[in-house]
Structure 1
Amino acid sequence: MTTRVMLISPAFSRALREARFEDGGPLEASGLARARSAAAGLPAADRSLTSPTVRCRETAEAFGGEPRVVAELAGLDVGRWRGRALAEVSEAEPDAVGAWLTDPGSAPHGGESVRELCARAGTWLDGAFAEGGRTLAVVEPEIVRALVLRALGAPESAFWRIDVAPLTATELSGRAGRWNVGVGRPL
């Protein structure tokens, strides 16, 4: 039996628009409206999941139903950089940002490394494969990146080379331990 996982990135929030690290803020009104209008185009799913962030939960709720919050699908913990603008952090800590963007094991912010995130997300994907059926999950862009790397067997060093636009779907389908990836479908 084929397992299908549709990963949907959240709609626009102020932090996303301002290129700030996730700050727990809600969706912008326009983002919420776009999420509601996209709901009709989503396929039926056996389960609806969401990352714990407010913007993911609000996006998932805009699609209808009651999605289950899954801690393993939380976005990258950026520690003390949370809520700060990337430009501000880059100016104040250029070496730290450089290391973070080039070394998947680096976590100069005191949070989680890309390597740790990829391992956590990959463990979740292995469980989704075993569960089977169709899963719809609204997740942070970094979870999409991590799961695409896992599905393709790509190195963690490619993490930052995957762009994930708001309100797009990335579809993983697999059978017998092998995943196929469909990326960037707009909703």
Structure 2
Amino acid sequence: LGAGVLIVYAVWKELIAVAADCSREACKADVKPREIEILSQRVAGIHRSLQWNAELVMQTLAWIFGFLWLSEIVTAFRSFVLSKVAVTWYFEPTSQKHRCRLPILDGTYTAAAYHLGSLALGAFVMACLRTVHWLFLAVHKLAGEKKDRNRCLMCCLGCFEFLITLATQLARHLTASAYTELAIS
């Protein structure tokens, strides 16, 4: 279980600390009475608003990235387990194939016990690339809303978007191949 578990544990411990700070900031916000109208009925209640500052924005972005990384770790686990099942089926001798009755559980155990660090690293790279891709898509959309947009800017953004998409697809292909290599070893 070694280094992979320690890395994932340390990162999630940091993210939980960030969340605790974020919730403390939310608890400091003033609670005020407020009324809203729902289906032509006045509903009264209490309202709490956050005062957004740079620290709170960074904490929120850290949470979003953490959930994105977790999503990529789940995808990496899935890819590794499927690769492990296929490797067991195709490369194990016939006498040993029937020895393992639950190959999916065997693949999950192998991933968690021996390859968690590699899976977490691959997932981190994919999460970083996906984050950069989403940022470029947001900038591209913001730059494209105006009718008198700058053609040079749009060309540069299109080139960067192409490069990020290319890097993401290449990394996805390489990580899938790496998961298969891990399953074989």
TM-score surpassing 0.5? Answer: no
Give the alignment's TM-score, normalised by structure 1: 0.26
Higher RCO (C-alpha 8 Å, min separation 6): 1
The structure with the larger Rg is 2
